[in-house]
Homo-oligomer: A and B are copies of this chain.
Amino acid sequence: MPTRRPLHEMTRDLTDVAAGRRPADLVVRNGRWVNVCSGEIVDGTDVAVLGPRIAYCGPDAGPTIGADTTVVEADGRFLVPGLLDAHMHVESTMLSVRRFAAAVLPRGTTGAFIDPHEIANVLGLAGVRLMVDEARATPMRIYVQVPSCVPSAPGLETSGAEFGPGEVAEAMGWDGVIGLGEVMNYPGVAAGDERLHGEIAATLKAGGVVGGHYASPDLGVPFHAYAAAGPSDCHEGTRAEDVVARVRQGMYAMVRESSAWRDLAAQIGAVTAGGIDPRRVLLCTDDRHAGTLLREGHMDDVVRLAIREGLPPMTAIRMATLNTAEHFGVALDVGCIAPGRYADFLLVGDLERFEVTRVIAAGETVARDGKLAVEMRPFEVPDRARRSVRIGRRLDRSDFVVRAPETAKTARCRVIEIVENQAPTRAVTAELPVVDGVVSPGEGTGIAHLAVIERHRGSGRIGRGFVRGFGLEGRCALASTVAHDSHNLLVLGSDPDAMAAAAHRVVEIGGGIALVRDGGVIAEIALPIAGLMSEEPIGEVAARAEALHRGLRACGCTAGDAFMTFSLLALPVIPRLRLTDRGLVDVDAFAIVPLFVDGDNP
């Protein structure tokens, strides 16, 4: 695998090749150059490559061919710049960076702008560093953003790290770090929060790009206040008018097509019908699960969809290449096929169907006909990342039991009610029976136990509560260290014994997900890297996720995309009621509230 080297080390060598004084390492002949810079298709184009970079694009690379030059005949296929994902979280795939790269390179994604937000909440800057370092073990060009909101709600939850302007400034100095990850606390930004503006300032001062995340439909004063704070992009729009508003304010509108949030069709009309110039519109996946990657694809899928939704192929491709590179200020490295740039490009037989037949990354063929053709470099996951689940003791049923106040016969409790296929929850109350001084979710109520165990510092702190809507039957429990954003150990169950068993199993496998039914583990996914990522190939991870899904159905769980809904139950920045290790959080009040109505916290 050729090492990616900065352009400033290579200008003489590239010039020598272009001038015919030195042979190229690779020449691709007779392609149809999808020239995203000029907006043309230029037939009969040759590309000559030296090491990781392009030396020549033009009608005849013959003079650059030497005895040892690899020559690939494009035979009139299209030469397309390698696709770039403008915003995504590798952790959402549950794959390590190497396994992720192995999965998406054959799809034509050669670059990505990743926000390692999840691992940062577990391992802090060391987690960000891990992602930066592991990215170098792949042929992809991965740019890393420093997560901005670690934790999401300081004081209301316990995460493995806290980031402020100092952490951001430090990471901005690392090679491979491109800017600040989505500044999700948009009310805080609009309110002038000092820490958030400090992080933004540290990023801008270092020349980085500030990623935005304005997740409200209100395009009035709060939106304008957010826009004035410096974020350069936003991927949280869901309507065509959101694209219009963002581009007008000088931001780049990122149109997202994730596993759960399918926002492209509703937004792209801003371009196809609304007359918005597409140059500041980008495509991204944000969060795609392993199963979606396997079944539908990655950026290739998003480009295909954009074309089906009415964009000319050139426009759709630009939204996944040049536009993105320009936004992040890296268009001398990626985003187009031109001299000096990294040799990251694809051979594509038909632009509309966008079937990628060969993928060249850093000057080497890394995939052919959808199959990976290269090994990742060895990479040692630091030991610390494998020891991220720290509970401090063996959990048992008593940890999951909710003691009732004094001698009550029933207890009036705050209960989280999930809303199918939506992230927000409802805050309801329920009168729950008390048996032997212990609050029970009751029979036929659809209510289950929920617990969050702090797992970063071994404090033993547990938040306990109840949730309605998953519809568990029998004695079963689901435990997971994937629990946004602090990723404590989140446990859902109909029975404290099952909960203890599931939680213990997750601890045993060093982090991950375990589903217990009638005393036995019926599905599990080991996620040894920070309790978030597997080191297994995508097929294995997707199969395990599918088995988990089937297991949940077997447990009577009827909710659509139950695991995702579950994994957001501890995220205290999405309305309205959440549970963290510190207790129930009323998100609207941004405060801890007692489990018992008019009572104290248990």
Chain A residues in contact with chain B, CB under 8 A? 6-9, 11-12, 14-21, 33, 35, 37-40, 42, 55-58, 63, 189-192, 194, 197, 200-205, 207, 221-222, 224-230, 232, 244, 247-250, 275-277, 279-280, 326, 329, 331-332, 336, 338-341
Contact = CB atoms under 8 A, between A and B. Distances in A.
B205 A248 contact: no
A219 to B, nearest CB: 9
B55 A205 contact: no
A336 B38 contact: no
A188 to B, nearest CB: 11
A224 B18 contact: yes
Contacts of A276: 38-40
Identify the interface centre among A16, A17, A194: most chain B CB within 10 Å of its CB.
A16
A207 B201 CA distance: 19
B277 A19 contact: no
A201 B42 contact: no
Contacts of A191: 19
Given A7-B204, A205-B8, A42 B248 contact: yes
Nearest to A279: B279
Contacts of A280: 37-38
Nearest to A36: B277
A204 B249 CA distance: 30
Contact of A57 (B7, B207, B244, B249): B249
B63 A221 contact: yes
Contacts of A339: 224, 227-228, 249-250
A176 to B, nearest CB: 15
Given A9-B201, A11-B200, A250-B341, 9 more contacts: A6-B204, A8-B205, A19-B225, A19-B228, A207-B207, A227-B340, A228-B339, A250-B340, A326-B326
Contact of A18 (B7, B228, B247): B228
Contact of A230 (B7, B39, B190, B331): B7
Nearest to A201: B8
Contacts of A341: 250
A11 B248 contact: no
Identify the interface centre among A35, A200, A340: most chain B CB within 10 Å of its CB.
A340
Contacts of A37: 247-248, 250, 277, 280
B248 A190 contact: no
A42 B244 CA distance: 11
B279 A35 contact: no
Given A232-B332, A276-B39, A340-B230, A201 B11 contact: yes
Identify the interface centre among A20, A225, A338: most chain B CB within 10 Å of its CB.
A225
A192 B20 CA distance: 12
Contacts of A58: 224
A40 B225 contact: no
Nearest to A329: B329
B250 A338 contact: yes
A471 to B, nearest CB: 43
Nearest to A276: B38
B42 A11 contact: no
A63 to B, nearest CB: 7
A228 B39 contact: no
13 contacts: A7-B204, A8-B201, A8-B202, A9-B201, A11-B197, A15-B225, A18-B221, A19-B221, A58-B224, A207-B207, A228-B339, A250-B336, A250-B338
B275 A244 contact: no
Given A228-B14, A249-B57, A338-B250, A8 B38 contact: no
A191 B58 CA distance: 19
Contacts of A249: 57, 338-339
A275 B40 contact: yes
Contacts of A279: 279
